[in-house]
Amino acid sequence: MTQPPRFTPAGDPEPLLLLNPGPINVSEGVAQALLRGDLCHREPEFSRVQRRVRELLCEAFAPKGYTAVLLTGSGTAALEAAVCSAVGPEETLLVLRNGVYGERIEAIAEAHGIHHQVLDAGWDSPHDADLVARVLDDDPDLKVVAGVIHETTTGLLNPIRDVARVCRGAGRTLLVDGVSALAGEEVDLAGWGVDLCVGTANKCIRGLPGLSFVLVREEVMSRIASYPPRSLYLHLPTYFAKQEQDGTPFTPAVQLAYALEVALEELLAEGVAARVERAKAISDHLRERCLALGLELYLAPEHLSRTITTFRLPSGLTYDELHDALKARGFVIYAGQGELRSQAFRISNIGVMSDADYERFLVALAEVLP
- pLDDT over 90, % of the chain: 95
User: Is there a single domain that holds both residue 233 and residue 176?
Assistant: yes
| Cα 139–chain centre separation | 30
pLDDT digits (tens, 9 = 90+) for 23-48: 999 999 999 999 998 999 999 999 99
Q: Which residue has the higher pLDDT, 15 or 74?
A: 74
User: Is there a single domain that holds both residue 139 and residue 220?
Assistant: yes
| CATH number for position 237 | 3.40.640.10
| CATH number for position 319 | 3.90.1150.10
Q: State which residues form the domain around 281.
A: 17-27+271-368
User: Is there a single domain that holds both residue 248 and residue 134?
Assistant: yes
pLDDT digits (tens, 9 = 90+) for 109-134: 999 999 999 999 999 999 999 999 99
User: Is there a single domain that holds both residue 304 and residue 248?
Assistant: no
Is residue 108 within 8 Å of 83, Cβ to Cβ?
yes
Pick the last residue of a domain from 220, 248, 268.
268
Q: How far is 287 from 309, CA to CA, in rounded Å?
A: 8
Q: How far is 152 from 79, CA to CA, in rounded Å?
A: 15
User: Is there a single domain that holds both residue 249 and residue 277?
Assistant: no
Q: How far is 180 from 172, CA to CA, in rounded Å?
A: 24
Q: How far is 143 from 26, CA to CA, in rounded Å?
A: 39
Q: How confident is the model at residue 4 (pLDDT cuts 50, 70, 90)?
A: confident
pLDDT digits (tens, 9 = 90+) for 225-274: 999 999 999 999 999 999 999 999 999 999 999 999 999 999 999 999 99
Q: How far is 351 from 356, CA to CA, in rounded Å?
A: 14
The confidence score (pLDDT) of residue 3 equals: 77
CA distances from 46 to 28, 49, 186, 249, 317 (A): 22, 5, 32, 14, 50
Residue 209 has pLDDT above 60, yes or no: yes
User: Is there a single domain that holds both residue 38 and residue 116?
Assistant: yes
Q: How confident is the model at residue 10 (pLDDT cuts 50, 70, 90)?
A: confident
CA distances from 323 to 155, 198, 239, 255, 256 (A): 19, 30, 40, 32, 30
Residue 1 has pLDDT above 60, yes or no: no
